[in-house]
């Protein structure tokens, strides 16, 4: 599966959005700068410069930097995240995997690669969802809603072949997702290049651990 870039999907969303060209430029610049520098260290003057507009134009459409952040995160939580979840689930068909280990290896490696390639953008979203329960709930609902439809079939298949413990789909998803987040979070939240990480080793370790937990 191709590892999608969040910025690419965000740009595609803006292309279709009912916004002026200046609004689109401002939001694009906003998300890029927030991911590069962080929310607190990004000024409206820097956003205006990156967007190629005056600072007055920024304030004409957005009353504050917080409103800019909200306008940037809204399509991420309502459009980009659900699209990413849906595309991922399309790849998880039971017939693609001969054994549970094959499924786990694919899912873990794919999601770790996604986190690494999009860590700057995820960092922006993660910092906000910890203090914004509304954004957290939207993201969780979108992800688990999509997983329940697609990943659920793979779960049922390997439970039927007695390779997977007879837990509820939600409990299994939480266990698998928790393991992936545990490995990915330090890479995402630490400054780039400061946390040594071998994705293949991490995949092997997590597959081994989950098989011990999830095998009947």
The owner of tokens 């997702």 is 177
Tell whether 210 is covered by a domain.
Answer: yes
Task: Tell me the per-residue pLDDT of 169-183, one tens digit each, with 9 for 90 and over.
Answer: 889 988 998 899 899
Tell whether 182 is covered by a domain.
Answer: yes
Task: Tell me the per-residue pLDDT of 112-139, one tens digit each, with 9 for 90 and over.
Answer: 998 888 887 777 777 776 766 766 776 6
Tell whether 99 is covered by a domain.
Answer: yes
Q: Which residue pairs, CB below 8 angstroms and at least 24 apart, start in 44-50?
A: 44/68
Question: In this predicted structure, what is the pLDDT of residue 145?
Answer: 62
Task: Tell me the per-residue pLDDT of 15-24, one tens digit each, with 9 for 90 and over.
Answer: 888 889 999 9
Q: Are 115 and 189 in contact (CB under 8 A)?
A: no
Domain count, the chain: 1
As a whole number, the mean pLDDT across the chain is 83
Q: How far is CA 44 from CA 16, 50, 64, 177, in A?
A: 25, 10, 8, 36
211 contacts: CB under 8 Å, gap ≥ 6: 100, 101, 104
Tell whether 160 is covered by a domain.
Answer: yes
What is the CATH number for 41?
1.10.357.10
**What is the domain range of residue 45?**
6-214
Tell whether 79 is covered by a domain.
Answer: yes
Please indicate whether residue 140 or residue 27 has the higher confidence score (pLDDT). Answer: 27
Tell whether 1 is covered by a domain.
Answer: no
The helix (run of H) or strand (run of E) holding residue 135 is: helix 133-160
Please indicate whether residue 66 or residue 146 has the higher confidence score (pLDDT). Answer: 66
Q: Which residues of 175-209 are buried (b: 16+ CB within 10 A; e: fewer)?
A: ebeebbeebbeebbeeeeeeeeeebeebbeebbee
């Amino acid at each position: 599966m191709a590892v999608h870039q969040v910025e690419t999907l965000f740009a595609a969303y803006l292309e279709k959005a009912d916004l002026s060209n200046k609004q689109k430029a401002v939001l694009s610049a906003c998300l890029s700068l927030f991911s590069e520098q962080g929310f607190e260290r990004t000024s409206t003057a820097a956003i205006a410069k990156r967007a190629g507009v005056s600072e007055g134009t920024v304030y004409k459409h957005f009353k504050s930097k917080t409103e800019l952040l909200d306008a940037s995160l809204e399509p991420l939580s309502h459009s980009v995240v659900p699209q990413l979840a849906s595309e991922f689930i399309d790849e998880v068909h039971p017939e693609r995997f001969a054994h549970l280990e094959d499924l786990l290896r694919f899912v873990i490696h794919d999601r770790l690669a996604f986190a690494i390639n999009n860590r700057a953008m995820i960092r922006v979203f993660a910092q906000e969802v910890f203090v914004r329960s509304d954004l957290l709930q939207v993201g969780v609902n979108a992800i688990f809603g999509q997983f329940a439809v697609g990943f659920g079939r793979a779960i049922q298949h390997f439970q039927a072949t007695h390779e997977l413990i007879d837990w509820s789909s939600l409990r299994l998803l939480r266990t698998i997702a928790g393991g992936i987040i545990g490995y990915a979070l330090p890479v995402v939240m630490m400054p780039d290049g400061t946390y040594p990480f071998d994705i293949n080793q991490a995949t092997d370790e997590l597959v081994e651990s989950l098989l011990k937990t999830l095998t009947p």
